[in-house]
Structure 1
Amino acid sequence: MAVWRADAKGITVSVRVTPRASRDAVLEPKGGWLPVRLRAPPVEGAANGALVRFLASALDLPRRDVMIRSGEAARLKHVRLEGDPERLAEALERLYRASP
């Protein structure tokens, strides 16, 4: 099962968020989802905001190009990344391969 789907304007990533982690990190994909650990708590949208900021910073994207498409109140989310799909896919792979 693919973790992300590409189209001409970007990619949509299936993400599984673990809030209140010891550090922000992207792990190797499991079960069709990209695990993302965030230090932020899952209250009042804090984890969603942290997810957008973290992915934007890690992938060198403006925050406006990172949008949560579904799952705002759940751990499983679909996140839209706008930009060159090949560059974004390569950047995501580098990001999770660099995590311990």
Structure 2
Amino acid sequence: MHALSIPTWMVHVSSVIEWIAAIWLIWRYGEITGNRYWWGLAAAMLPALVSAMCACTWHYFDNPLDLAWLVTLQASMTVLGNCTLCGAAWWIWRQTKQTNTDSASDSD
């Protein structure tokens, strides 16, 4: 656990906590608005959370070589998370565009 300084640990841990809070808030927003695509965004955030937890775990154990597979898993989860977040953002954009088009048609 000596691999990182206390301030760096504070940033790592607070980032994970903030990410969990963001996932929960986005999920709740989807429940409140009834828009399921926000649930998709919350689910799309999970691989990035796994990536962050891999990094914290590896650092917690002082970056041992026998846990180097965590670095590979972290990188993989970062790529997957970026792709899922891109897909979720596209889905939200598409749904919003469709809703706006439907609203414009209704007002004519």
With the shorter chain as reference, the TM-score category is under 0.3
Q: Which structure has the highest helix share of the two?
A: 2
- State the TM-score, normalizing by the size of structure 1: 0.24
Q: Which structure has the highest strand share of the two?
A: 1
